[in-house]
Chains A and B, each alone.
Chain A
Amino acid sequence: MLKTSTIVALAVAAACAQAQTKSAAESIAEYRALLAEGNPAELFEVKGEDLWKKARGPKNVSLERCDLGKGPGVVKGAFVELPRSFTDTGRVQDLESRLLSCMEMLQGFNAAEIAKTPFGKGEQASLEGLVAYIAAESRGMKLDLPQGHPEERKFYEAGKRIFHFRSGPYDFACATCHAEDGKRIRLQDLPNLTKNAGAGAGFGAWPAYRVSSGELWGMQRRLNDCFRQQRFPYPGFVSDATIALATYMGVNGKGVPSTAPAIKR
């Protein structure tokens, strides 16, 4: 009897020691895995699918003829090839920028007005659902941003410069935190966005549901908030600067499977 209880005690002690050696990163990964089982981004995906198929806007048409780069109405696989160059608008566009164009051209919405709307309000809230739905349709597919068009290569180079551009009251750049392996802020591991694995994991996770605020953030909101955290001026919704940065990260992450819409702290 005594012998068994000693063995049990030893086993418990061993388990405790094991728990202590588990790194913070592992514990966070475990917590995320638990959360991911009930990722509320799914609620946004359902809303987004409805919004995509529903006739809306001044012209009362759906977005089902919207060309996201793979032909009108093709949703599957479109997300992992954005941002890309579009001939009809003559611009390199990311998902949110392209959706705005479609909402203006097909549905008759005022794109400039939506771009000025605060995140999470009015049509910006519709965009959250749409990006969740479109990203989810490409879940697990590999990032494959095109670089054939000279504009796309220009955006990559511009994004690289913006990424390394130090400025603001903190003399900060994206690269200050995101260009080295093994960095972290408090308990958050920071992906190295200049390398393939880091860029793929970082870029390929947004849009994402943020547990702390209970909101779904698209890439545009993520990037604009990065600028705010660096105390830079607000670059603006679907501005070329944010699209260039997205191009830089997306191209760096080529071949990594997309996990969006993911779940974040």
Chain B
Amino acid sequence: MADLMRIRAQAAGDKATVRVLMSHEMETGQRKDAAGKTIPAWYIQQVSAVHNGKAVLSAQWGPAVSKNPFMQFTIKGAKAGDKVAITWVDNRGETRTDEATVS
């Protein structure tokens, strides 16, 4: 089971800034281990954000994104008390969804 994401969502004016920290290896598939064997690629491919049930962001990621990635974006019209859910899917088909409340 993948580890918990850290999501912070803060409203200011008519916008909310969302900061997400994901826990993922993001292995590129280019590296070799101590025995010289290629370490298989393992990275997040799809990221999506849902604000009160409505999709607001969808991104395609690749192996160039760092380990334990950090993502920040703003949602127009979001206010305190709203729900923001983030989902990622990696190339092994593993997925994780976490939800936060805008403060």
Is B19 interfacial (CB 8 A cutoff)?
A: yes
Contact of A37 among B4, B23, B70 (CB under 8 A): B70
- With A37-B70, A214-B67 in contact, is A42–B3 under 8 Å at CB? no
Q: Mark A137-175, 1 if CB is under 8 A from B, else 0.
A: 000000000000000000000000000000000000000
Give the residue name and chain of the A residue nearest to B67 (CB).
A214
- Are the C-beta atoms of A43 and B72 separated by less than 8 Å? no
Chain B residues within 8 Å of A77, by CB: none
- With A37-B19, A38-B21, A38-B72 in contact, is A43–B6 under 8 Å at CB? yes
Is B91 interfacial (CB 8 A cutoff)?
A: no
Chain A residues within 8 Å of B95, by CB: none
Q: Mark B49-77, 1 if CB is under 8 A from A, else 0.
A: 00000000000000000111010100000
- Are the C-beta atoms of B3 and A47 separated by less than 8 Å? yes
Q: A42 vs B6: C-alpha distance in the bound complex, in angstroms? A: 8
Q: A46 vs B6: C-alpha distance in the bound complex, in angstroms? A: 9
What is the interface of chain A mostly: helix, strand, loop, or mixed? loop
- Are the C-beta atoms of A42 and B21 separated by less than 8 Å? yes
Chain A residues within 8 Å of B3, by CB: 43, 46-47
- With A38-B19, A38-B21 in contact, is A43–B70 under 8 Å at CB? no
Which B1-17 residues have C-beta < 8 A from chain A? 3-4, 6
Is A218 interfacial (CB 8 A cutoff)?
A: no
Chain B residues within 8 Å of A43, by CB: 3-4, 6, 21, 23, 68
Is A200 interfacial (CB 8 A cutoff)?
A: no
Give the residue name and chain of the A residue nearest to B4 (CB).
A46
Chain A residues within 8 Å of B68, by CB: 40, 43, 214
Q: A116 vs B88: C-alpha distance in the bound complex, in angstroms? A: 37
Chain B residues within 8 Å of A46, by CB: 3-4, 6
Q: A211 vs B67: C-alpha distance in the bound complex, in angstroms? A: 9
Give the residue name and chain of the A residue nearest to B19 (CB).
A38
Chain A residues within 8 Å of B23, by CB: 40, 43
Chain B residues within 8 Å of A211, by CB: 66
Smallest CB separation, A82 vs chain B (Å):
26
13 extra interface residue pairs, beta carbon distance < 8 Å, beyond A38-B70, A40-B70, A43-B68: A37-B19, A37-B70, A38-B21, A40-B21, A40-B67, A40-B68, A42-B21, A43-B3, A43-B23, A46-B3, A46-B4, A211-B66, A214-B67
Residues of B within 8 A of A (CB): 3-4, 6, 19, 21, 23, 66-68, 70, 72
Residues of A within 8 A of B (CB): 37-38, 40, 42-43, 46-47, 211, 214
List 19 A-B residue pairs with CB atoms under 8 Å apart, sorted by A's residue number.
A37-B19, A37-B70, A37-B72, A38-B70, A38-B72, A40-B21, A40-B67, A40-B70, A42-B6, A42-B21, A43-B3, A43-B4, A43-B6, A43-B21, A43-B68, A46-B4, A46-B6, A211-B66, A214-B66
Which 9 residue pairs are nearest across A and B when measured between Cβ atoms?
A: A38-B70, A214-B67, A40-B68, A43-B23, A38-B21, A42-B6, A43-B68, A42-B21, A40-B21
